[in-house]
Copies of this chain bind each other. A is one copy, B any other.
């Protein structure tokens, strides 16, 4: 008895960064949490399966991967509009985060996970606080997540110990859907000694790292002025890059920095909407791909983005790398699709079992309905995913072999209740007292 049969769909295959193929009339066979076969429809006997999904007219793609988010920040959505990065931190985000109370992160995580699943995202790397609440929400939702408890130098050894404890408690939890790692905030909020301590702890406990660095060229310049080293050089110097590391943003990475990232096998999370909205530079994804650095897409938090929409991030990736190169041939359809799926999986260190619809891979699948007016007539389904698709096209989502959204209804989260609770907390969460901020931005 096999568990799940997805019948008669189009299947998007991305064998490498330059090829995207859409096969018609396919069945996807799933046993436990893995894909066992993808084959022409009609060969499998539905009565041999515990569950079948008639996916006629739907397109199956690998679940989208969000390699950098602060999911619970959906609670603050819309509270920091059109302000530059220094004021964004010092007058908005860090004062707002002073409002967080027990229960808020769990609530925000449930709300954000519902939005992610609704938009076809099956894995999210989240970097935030009170992560026991976040992990409990992930367990409940059915999503896959890579979780790190954000720590600052000001938290010292105690903060690090707590975050290691969190990692050890939740590593491999939720049927293997949860992976944990260490999440120092950034070189500009974590002095070298603290980063060295984090690196030592990571080596001892065999944990990976997720950190912000070189978010802007200004940060790179300020770092060189103050320390003689770029933020990426600091990551190398302090030993962080000796462990597999996800570097969020790296918009201010120099050519030498990209070579350092490549040498250590570090990966980069690219969150283009945040960069545009805050007037930052863009991650040089094309150059990083050329250097062999794995790049995944991220939403960042919803106070900069303002949503958790990875389809939009994929579209912006394709459009903006063309813009920067001043040519339409850069970041074509296949490379954009690769980055949103396989690139993300490699960035999270799971490229050999996640991010592709192939036998043996984890069964994380988004089924999209491309019958909407904005896709029709459908001359080119792969291009339509990159340039036309929106979250409402996502019809059904499978994670780890289990259906978590069916016909646009998220199954494991009580969305009505979560929305009502979020609404009740709005007034309390939107207070801002810049004197009460949790950190100060002064890179």
Contact = CB atoms under 8 A, between A and B. Distances in A.
Interface of A: 74-79, 81-85, 88, 111, 114-115, 118-119, 273, 275-279, 305-309, 318-320, 322-323, 325-330, 332-333, 371, 373-380, 383-384, 387-388, 390-392, 415, 419, 422-423, 425-426, 430
A78 B391 contact: no
Given A77-B379, A277-B322, 19 more contacts: A77-B375, A77-B380, A79-B379, A79-B380, A82-B328, A82-B332, A115-B374, A118-B374, A119-B374, A276-B323, A279-B323, A279-B326, A279-B329, A306-B384, A306-B388, A308-B374, A373-B419, A377-B419, A377-B425
Contacts of A430: 379
A-B interface, 10 closest residue pairs, ranked by CB to CB distance from nearest? A78-B380, A276-B319, A78-B379, A392-B392, A82-B332, A115-B373, A306-B387, A279-B327, A377-B422, A307-B374
A212 to B, nearest CB: 18
B85 A328 contact: yes
A261 B282 CA distance: 32
Give the copy number: 2
Given A81-B380, A306-B383, A390-B390, A373 B332 contact: no
A110 to B, nearest CB: 11
A379 B76 contact: yes
A308 B388 CA distance: 10
A12 to B, nearest CB: 15
A141 to B, nearest CB: 13
A423 B377 contact: yes
B279 A373 contact: no
A378 B374 CA distance: 26
Contacts of A114: 373
12 contacts: A75-B377, A79-B380, A82-B328, A82-B329, A82-B332, A84-B327, A279-B323, A305-B387, A306-B388, A373-B415, A377-B425, A392-B392
Contacts of A111: 373, 376
A21 B195 CA distance: 46
A276 B306 contact: no
Contacts of A308: 374
B83 A328 contact: yes
A66 to B, nearest CB: 14
Nearest to A392: B392
A278 B378 CA distance: 21
A387 B277 contact: yes
B383 A78 contact: yes
Counting chain B CB atoms within 10 Å of each CB, the highest count among A114, A326, A374, A430 belongs to: A374
Contacts of A306: 383-384, 387-388
A74 B388 CA distance: 12
Contact of A279 (B305, B325, B423): B325
A337 to B, nearest CB: 12
Contacts of A79: 379-380
A120 to B, nearest CB: 13
A78 B322 CA distance: 17
Nearest to A331: B82
Contact of A88 (B76, B279, B328, B380): B328
A426 B377 contact: yes
Contacts of A309: 374
Contact of A82 (B305, B333, B375): B333
Contacts of A277: 318-319, 322, 328, 387
A417 to B, nearest CB: 13
Contacts of A319: 273, 276-277
A329 to B, nearest CB: 6
Contacts of A374: 115, 118-119, 307-309, 391
A298 to B, nearest CB: 16
A415 to B, nearest CB: 7
Nearest to A308: B374
Contacts of A305: 387
A435 B390 CA distance: 37
